[in-house]
Amino acid sequence: MKRVLCGVLLATAAFAVPAQAAGPVLDDFVRVWNNQYGYGVGTSIPGQPLVGVWYDAIHHKTCVGISEMVPQCVSSNLG
């Protein structure tokens, strides 16, 4: 699962770099978070999530979500 997490993070980072370089118009399309509940990265267009991956530090699960489909999670202990 770590390979999947790294792959999705790298793919999403490819979107993040142009988004930040392009200015504030595209900044709303990429979200990166890191807090006491976990960390993750995701992309969206206004009103529609695209893809996201995150680690839930409370339940020790790594999850991947595509659009509005139910996210797929596996138990893990990355932290």
Looking up tokens 């980072």, which residue turns up?
13
The residue ranges of DSSP E strands in 1-79, in sequence order, are 30-35, 38-45, 48-56, 61-66, 72-75
CA-wise closest residue to 32 among 17, 21, 48, 47: 17
How is the chain split into domains, by residue range?
A: 2-75
- Is this model's pTM higher than 0.75 or not? no
19-70 pLDDT per residue, tens: 444 434 445 688 898 999 999 999 988 888 899 999 999 999 999 999 989 9
**Mean pLDDT, rounded, of the chain:** 74
| Measured CA distances, 76 to 13, 26, 51, 67, 69 (Å) | 22, 32, 20, 23, 21
Coil, strand or helix: which one is 57? Answer: coil
